[in-house]
Amino acid sequence: MIGELKEQYPGCANIAHGLLLRFFYSMTKEHGYEAYFSQMDYSSPDYIFVQVHEYLLRTNGVLNRRELEQEFHYSADYLNKIVKQRSGMTLVEYSQAYRMKQAARLICTTTESIEKISQELGFESKSYFYRLFKKTYHMSPAAYRKYRRGNSHEHV
């Protein structure tokens, strides 16, 4: 069809029209394809979970209950329930898991100080960041950096 239109032979528009009609006819035949228009259910828990996850990405894992409620027009408790059903973690746990994964990635791939990384990820307390990191990876951030750089063929 593109060749017919490109070459501009006499009757090419009629041929292209006929080919399009044949294509659409074949799409409606038995064992063919069917096209359906559907509307996204924006109140679906799956859709809401995806939106919460994207919010988490935009905020670098930092969650604020009041801001979540304003963003999604649902109570934080309802959003927490959806996240728990979909991920097995509460909102706080989901946020912490994301931030710890980001911290591990940054520790391994940058030369930024660990304190700067913890601040970038929204941790106000350096000691809390260290405790959470050690709980997650069973070593301090500095030891993790040294270990991972020594084993750079492995991925975070």
**Which residues neighbour 3 within 8 Å (Cβ) at sequence distance 6 or greater?**
none
**Over residues 36-47, mean pLDDT:** 75
Residue type, 19: L
93 and 114 share one domain: yes
Same domain, 1 and 67: no
- Residues 110 and 116: their CA atoms lie apart, in Å, by 11
Element (DSSP H or E) covering residue 147:
helix 141-150
- Residue 5 pLDDT class (50, 70, 90 cuts): low
Q: What is the mean pLDDT of residues 125-130?
A: 95
pTM of the model as a whole: 0.68
User: Using CA atoms, how far apart are residues 134 and 115, in angstroms rounded to an integer?
Assistant: 14
- For residue 82, give both structure tokens: 């959806």
- Two tokens at 149? 């750089």
| Cα(1)–Cα(123) distance, integer angstroms | 59
More confident residue, 5 or 71: 71
Q: Is 113 contained in some domain?
A: yes
Q: Are residues 66 and 3 in the same domain?
A: no
**Burial of residue 136, with CB atoms counted within 10 A of its CB: 0-12 exposed, 13-18 middle, 19 or more buried:** middle
**How many separate domains does the chain show?**
2
Q: Indicate which CATH number applies to the domain containing 100.
A: 1.10.10.60
Determine, yes or no, domain membership for 56.
yes
Structural domain for 32, as ranges? 1-37
**Is the domain of 8 the same as that of 49?**
no
Q: How far apart are CA 107 and CA 136, in angstroms?
A: 14
